[in-house]
Structure 1
Amino acid sequence: MKLKTLLTGAALALGLATAGFAEDKTKVGFVYVGPVGDGGWTFTHDQGRKAVEAEFGDKVETVFVENVAEGPDAERVLTQMALDGADLIFTTSFGFGEATINVAKKFPNVKFEHATGYQRADNVSTYSARFYEGRAVQGHIAGSMTESNIIGYIASYPIPEVIRGINSAYIHAKKANPDVEFRIVWVYTWFDPAKEADAAKALIEQGADVILQHTDSTAPHAAAQEAGGVVTFGQASDMSQYAPFPRVSALLDVWAPYYIERTRAVMEGTWESVDTWNGIAEGMVGIGEITDAVPAEVKAEALALKEALRTGEYHAFTGPINKQDGSVWLAEGETANDGDLAGMQFYVEGIVGDIPN
């Protein structure tokens, strides 16, 4: 594990030490759960970090640590980052929550931002994206394109964020194709190409001809490409190296504007603890290019759904929707509130299987 400090070209040319050269800089740290080269989640956060550098130039210094395990190791990394003079630290995975809160108590003058988290403090903000909106668009395409009526879903951890995505994708796949079935494999990792590939292969063996994923590598795409005839979707980033097929579209995480805005707030002294949950409307969730492998009619429907979500004309969780046990969750025309979505721990009616503990 390596703490990578990025110096300006001028500092390198003059041979100056970082501490001496960066006295007036705002130092911004990023803690990543995976490698910056994962092609998915961590890659997109690191693109946001680079955007901060591009926006503010020599007024900022950014540092990052990749491949940080969720747990005690995260607390150690955060503590060192704060001791090294970070003014603002972004912790970019759900499992960093406790470490973020614990270290923030020890460094009240440092600002912390926890991605996909829920615990806040005077110097801790939380931020996330409404990924479930993108899952709705993916679900529509998936339900429309499957020929076997079996859609495979590679899930990471059974947290509300992941469960919301499964439910949203299923609801919209089912609207497009009433005969659709979901097969879900939990891999208990965000990034493990071998496990993700094995999960994809197992789902394909079960008859899935569409694979959705809430994991970060491109391994499921490679498995689908090898199998032939299996549709996939980019996760977090475009993963366009597998377009136009098997990857027919993608759910895009767009962090750069948020990272720039929050860094600017620290620089200007206007930073406050807030909770941010943005979606397609704000540009934090994007839909990657829908390729010509998708029938023109389905593509038009998917883009119309995206637009309805963007304008607020439509909510991805609009009743009637029952829970898996058949009990009513949302009545006809009723939409889910953010509290229910934030704590979602149930499948909707029609999904087979249990949510693991």
Structure 2
Amino acid sequence: MTITRRNILKVGAAAAALPLLGTKAFAQTEPLKVGFMLIGTVNDNGWNFGHATGAKYMKDQLGDAVAEPTVVENVPEGPDCERVLRELAQSGHKLIFAASFGYGDYVIKVAQQFPDVKFEHATGYQRSDNVATYNARFHEGRAVCGTIAGHLSKTGKAGYIGSFPIPEVVMGINAFTLAARKVNPDFTMTPVYISTWNDPAKEADTARAMIDQGIDVIAQHTDGPAALQVAEERGIVGGFGQGADMSAFAPNAQLTSIIDNWGPHYVEAAQAVIDGSWTSGDRWPGLKEGEVQIGPYGPKVTDEVKAAAEAIKQGQIDGTFNIFTGPINDHTGAERVPAGVTLTDAELLSMDWYVEGVNPPA
């Protein structure tokens, strides 16, 4: 379906407006009401689709212990999300997931007003007694994708369509580039930030401009398949699905995809609220835990390249490989990470510099 404004959906049911139940008491014998606030639509076939799929998985696993999840789509990162969070809390939702980085300040503000409601902020960093954060080690998947790109790119030039230059995105650019340069030391990466998470027209125009400049592999940290569709149309080597398998849109151009598997966390968090054992904290699992998954390889990925990609994937699962172990130089050639040293999580989560091989945006 085409959605032109924010909709409020019940997963598995018809669209419905949020009921405002005021201060109605919540009894533990009632099904837990869980809300999800998304920046895009559930049919974006990427980031938001992944969270909606996770919400459905939670309901399937917990059955009558939870009500049909409420999913609010197309909520921008701004004052409107504060209103949506407040309406969810006022209408009896005792667990609310806010699934975009820019929601953070508003989550903290509303959570102070509803201390009996648990909030979880995806990709965030601010926490309180009733606000937790959760994320996934997407950069581990980028290392697998970069390995494939290093093997298959004919020009040795890749482009990266980014949303905003936040550490999560910079980290992905760097992981991809480091992995590709382990295969081809001359490999270069050109990132372009489009200042939005989901704008198909911008993503497509950026992909076309990249291809016109000799780039034959495109990665992305935006939500939809538009860039992959351009890659398919233009016949370049290809690109990578983001958040979900996008091969239906680019059966020849998708080389593989990074799939976000949020469902198990949503089950765990909801069960903890039901049990009364929920506590605030931060979680950041990856390939090892199955929260980050690598999708099927496309037809252009040879058996040799599959084996190389699988080796990088498995090394990150068993702990024998970390893409951020030195020596690592930055884009100016200065050493940033000495040989044998691995960046800490804190250093990754504050990353604001580019590795050698990246052509920084002006």
State the identity %: 48
Give the alignment partner of residue 265 of structure 2, picking from 253, 258, 262.
258
Alpha carbons of 1:6 and 1:299: their partners in 2 closer, same or farther (altered >3 Å)?
closer
TM-score of the pair, normalised by structure 1: 0.93
Q: Aligned-pair distance for 1:295? A: 1.8
Alignment partner of 1:347: what SS?
coil
* Correspondence 1:32 to 2:38: yes
User: Offset of 1:152 from its aligned partner?
Assistant: 1.2
- Structure 1 residues 58, 18: closer, same or farther in 2, change over 3 A? farther
Q: Distance in 1 between matches of 2:87 and 2:12?
A: 18
Matching residue of 2:225: 218
Q: 1: CA distance between counterparts of 2:223 and 2:82?
A: 23
Q: TM-score, normalised by structure 2?
A: 0.92
Amino acid at match of 1:319: G
1:318 maps to 325
Structure 1 residue aligned with 2:348: 341
Q: 2:96 aligns with which of 89, 102, 107?
A: 89
User: Are 1:147 and 1:209, in contact at CA under 8 Å, matched by a contact in 2?
Assistant: yes
Look up the equivalent residue of 1:3 and give its one-letter code.
I
Quick one: which amino acid aligns to residue 238 of structure 1? Answer: D
Q: Deviations over 1:258-306 (max 9, x none)?
A: 0000000001100000100001001111101113311211110100110
Rounded to whole Å, the distance in 2 between the matches of 1:350 and 1:250 is: 23
The equivalent residue for 1:152 is 159
Q: Which amino acid aligns with 2:152?
A: M
- Contact 1:8-1:58 within 8 A present in 2 as well: no
Is residue 84 of structure 2 the alignment partner of residue 77 of structure 1? yes
**Corresponding residue for 2:175?**
168
- Aligned equivalent of 1:45: 51
Letter of the structure 2 residue corresponding to residue 49 of structure 1: A
Mapping of residues 182-331 of structure 1, within 5 Å: 182-242=189-249, 244-331=251-338
Partner of 2:64: 58
Tell me which amino acid in the other structure corresponds to 1:91. Answer: A
Distance 1:182 1:165 in 2: 12
Letter aligned with residue 7 of structure 2: K
Aligned twin of 2:3: none
Counterpart-to-counterpart distance in 2, 1:324 and 1:115:
30
Number of residues of Structure 1 aligned to a counterpart in Structure 2: 348
Structure 2 residue ranges without an equivalent (≥5): 1-5
User: Could you tell me how far 1:185 is from its partner in structure 2?
Assistant: 1.4
1:3 equivalent to 2:8? Answer yes
CA distance 1:121–1:179, shift in 2 (3 Å) = same
Offset of 1:6 from its aligned partner?
Answer: 5.4
Q: For 1:130-189, what per-residue CA distance to the aligned partner results, in whole angstroms no more than 9, with x for missing partners? A: 000000000010111010111111111110000000000000111111121112211111
Distance across 2 between alignment mates of 1:301 and 1:2 = 43
Please, which moves more after superposition, 267-276 or 291-300?
Answer: 291-300
Runs (5+) with no aligned partner, structure 1: 10-16
Question: By how many angstroms is 1:58 displaced?
Answer: 2.2
Alpha-carbon distance in structure 2 between the residues aligned to 1:243 and 1:302: 20
Question: Once the 2 structures are TM-superposed, how far is the Cα of residue 18 of structure 1 from its aligned partner?
Answer: 11
Q: Which moved more, 1:330-339 or 1:160-169?
A: 330-339
| Larger relative helix fraction | 1
Maintained 8 Å contact 2:232/2:250: no
Tell me the CA shift for residue 243 of structure 1. 5.3
Poorly superposed stretches of 4+, deviation over 2 Å: 1-9, 17-20, 323-328
* Other structure's SS at 2:284 match: strand
Given that 2:151 and 2:184 are in contact with CA atoms closer than 8 Å, whether structure 1 keeps it comes out as: yes
SS at match of 1:240: coil
